[in-house]
Amino acid sequence: MIKAILIFNNHGKPRLSKFYEHYTEDTEQQIIRETFHLVSKRDENICNFLEGGLLIGGSDNKLIYRHYATLYFVFCVDSSESELGILDLIQVLVETLDKCFENVCELDLIFHVDKVHNILAEMVMGGMVLETNMSEIITQVEAQGKMEKSELCAFLSLCRPLSFSVPDRTGRHRLGSQGLRRVLCRP
Amino acid sequence: MSDVVEKTLTALPALFDSQTGAAKITNRLRQLIKSITELTSKHEEENLIKQELSAMKEQVSSPNTTMKQMREIMVRAMYCEMLGYDASFTYIHAIKLAQQGGVLEKREEENLIKQELSAMKEQVSSPNTTMKQMREIMVRAMYCEMLGYDASFTYIHAIKLAQQGGVLEKRVGTFTPHFHSSPYITSITHAQEIIRRKAVLALYKFYLIAPNQVQHIHAKFRKALCDKDPGVMTSSLHIYLQLIRESPDSYKDLTGSFVTILKQVVGGKLPLDFNYHSVPAPWLQIQLLRILSLLGKEDQSTSELMYEVLDESLRRAEMNHNITYAILYECVKAVYTIHPKAELLEKAARCIGNFVLSPKINLKYLGLKALTYVVQHDAKLALQHQMTIIECLDHSDFTIKRETLELLFRITNAQNVTVIVEKMLDFLRSCNDEHTIIHLVGKVAELAEKFAPDNSWFIQTMNDVFSIGGDLLQQDVPNNFLRLLAEGSESKEEDDQLRLYAVDSYLTVLKGHTSHLPQCFLQVMSWVLGEYAHLQESVDQREVIRLLTQLLDQRSVSSETRVWILSALTKISEGQTDLILDLAESLSSSQDTVLRQQAQELRHLSQESQLHEWALPRGAPWDGIEVDSSLSFLDGFVSEALAAGAAPYKPPHQRQEELCEDRALNLEPYGFSLPVSLSSCSITDRQSPTLLSVSSGLSGNSTELSQKAGCLILEGVKRVWGKDGYLPQKKRSTPPVDEPSAAVQPPGQQEAAERIEPRPDPLTQNQDKQQLASSLFVGLGVGSAMSLLGKSEAPPPRFRKKPHPHESSSSSSSGTSERSSDSSSRSSRNTTNSFLYGSLLEKEPATSISAFDHTPKSTTANGLAQNKDTKEDRRANTSQILGGDMVIVRPSTIQDKHPPSVSSDLTALLPADLKDLPHSDVISLTSDPSLSLSSCRLFRDEALLLVIFISNCTETVIKDVAVQLTCEELKTVSLRGNVVDCLEARSTSVCHYALLMDDPHTNVSFTGTVSYQTQPGHTNTLPFSGTLSTADFIRPLVVTTEEYGKLWLSLSHDVKQNLKLLTDAGDPLRTTLNSLKDALQLHVVDIIGSEGIVACRLLSGAPCLLHCRVNGTALAMWLRSPHPALPDCILYHCQRALAHH
- pLDDT digit string, tens, across residues B875-914: 444 444 343 344 333 333 333 344 444 445 677 777 777 7
Please, which residues have CB within 8 angstroms of residue B28's CB and are 6 or more apart in sequence? B11, B72, B76
Q: pTM for the complete prediction?
A: 0.53
Rg (CA), chain B: 36
Report the SS3 class of residue B769. Answer: helix
Q: How confident is the model at residue A6 (pLDDT cuts 50, 70, 90)?
A: very high
The answer to whether residues A56 and A115 belong to one domain is: yes
From residue B842, give the alpha-carbon distance in Å to each of B723, B1068, B1086, B1092: 20, 16, 12, 14
Please report the pLDDT score of residue B941 as a whole number: 78
Domain of residue A101: give its range.
2-130
Residue ranges of A 105-164 with Cβ closer than 8 A to chain B: 114, 125-126, 128-133, 135-136, 140, 144, 147-148, 151-152, 154-155, 158-159, 161-162, 164
Q: Are B776 and B385 in contact (CB under 8 A)?
A: no
**Alpha-carbon distances, residue B1029 vs A60, B221, B433, B638, B668 (angstroms):** 38, 42, 46, 19, 11
Chain B residues with beta carbon closer than 8 angstroms to that of A131 = 197, 231
Task: Report if residue A168 sits inside a domain.
Answer: yes
Please compute, for residue B474, the number of CA atoms within 13 A of its CA located in the half-sphere on the CB side. 15
Residues A117 and A178 in one domain: no
Series of mean pLDDT values for 10-residue runs along chain B (1141 residues): 46 41 57 75 81 82 73 74 71 64 53 63 59 60 54 55 45 46 55 74 74 68 78 85 85 87 86 82 88 87 86 76 86 87 85 83 87 80 79 81 85 82 85 77 84 82 83 79 76 79 85 81 85 77 81 81 84 73 78 83 79 69 62 82 82 70 51 41 38 36 38 42 45 40 41 41 60 69 38 40 39 38 41 39 38 39 42 42 39 39 61 76 81 84 83 82 80 76 81 81 80 79 82 83 81 78 76 82 83 84 84 80 82 81 72
- How far apart are alpha carbons B718 and B314 in whole angstroms? 41
Chain A, window 41-100: residues with a beta carbon less than 8 angstroms from a chain B beta carbon: 42-43, 45-54, 59, 80, 82-85, 87-89, 92
Question: Does residue A103 fall inside a structural domain?
Answer: yes
**pLDDT band (50, 70, 90) for residue A72:** very high
- pLDDT for the residue numbered B866: 43
pLDDT of B734 reads: 39
Q: Are the C-beta atoms of residues B67 and B105 closer than 8 Å to each other?
A: no
Q: Chain A within 8 Å of B326 (Cβ-Cβ)? A: yes
Last residue of a domain, which of A111, A130, A149?
A130
| Contact (CB<8Å) A180/B152 | no
Chain B residue closest in CA terms to A43 = B397
Name the residue among A47, A88, A147 with its Cβ closest to that of B322. A88
Final residue before a domain boundary, out of A84, A106, A130: A130
Do A162 and A75 share a structural domain? no
In three-state form (DSSP H/G/I as H, E/B as E, the rest C), the secondary structure along B1038-1069 is CCCHHHHHHHHHHCCEEEEEEEECCCCCCCHH
The tally of domains found in chain A comes to 2
Nearest to B365 among A49, A126, A144 (CB): A49
Instruction: Residue window 263-322, chain B: list those with CB within 8 Å of chain A.
Output: 273-274, 276, 282-283, 286, 290, 322
Instruction: Read off the pLDDT band of A96 (50, 70, 90).
Output: very high
Q: Report in angstroms the alpha-carbon separations of B276 from A64, B271, B1024, B1081.
A: 20, 11, 73, 57
> Do β-strands B725-726 and A124-125 pair in parallel, antiparallel, or remain unpaired?
unpaired
Enclosing H/E stretch for B1024: strand B1018-1029
**Contact B329/A82, CB-based, under 8 Å?**
yes
- A123 lies in the same domain as A166: no
Residue A93 binned pLDDT confidence (cut-offs 50, 70, 90): very high
Q: Are residues A67 and A115 in the same domain?
A: yes
**CB pair distance less than 8 Å for B366 and A83:** yes
B762: left (phi over 0), alpha (psi -120 to 50) or beta: beta
* C-alpha span between B838 and A21 (Å, rounded): 52
User: Which phi and psi (to 5°) does residue B516 adopt?
Assistant: -90, -5
- CATH code at position A66: 3.30.450.60
> Per the domain annotation, does A135 fall within a domain?
no
| A156 & A120 share domain | no
Q: Tell whether A105 and A180 lie within a shared domain.
A: no
Alpha helices in B616-721 (DSSP H): 635-643, 652-661, 699-707
Give the pLDDT of residue A42: 83
Following DSSP, what letter does each residue of A96-165 receive, concatenated?
A: HHHHHHTS--HHHHHHTHHHHHHHHHHHEETTEE----HHHHHHHHHHHHHHHHHHHHHHHHHHTT----
Q: How far apart are CA B485 and CA B487, in angstroms?
A: 6
Q: CA B338 to CA B302: how far, in whole Å?
A: 9
pLDDT for B79 equals 73
Q: Is residue A17 part of a domain?
A: yes
Q: Are residues A96 and A67 in the same domain?
A: yes
DSSP 3-state of B824: helix
- Together in a domain, A97 and A21: yes
**For residue A74, what pLDDT is reported?**
92
The β-bridge partners of A9 are A71
**In this structure, are A10 and A78 located in the same domain?**
yes
For residue A62, being part of any structural domain is answered with yes
Q: A126 with A155, same domain?
A: no
Q: Say yes or no: B325 contacts chain A, CB-CB below 8 A.
A: yes
Contact A131 B25 (CB under 8 A): no
- Any residues with CB less than 8 A from the CB of B569 and at least 6 apart, and which? B530, B545, B548, B549, B580, B583, B602
A110 and A177: one domain?
no
Q: Is A158 within the bounds of a domain?
A: yes
Is residue A136 one of the residues assigned to a domain? no
Tell me which chain B residues have a C-beta less than 8 angstroms from the C-beta of A25: 118
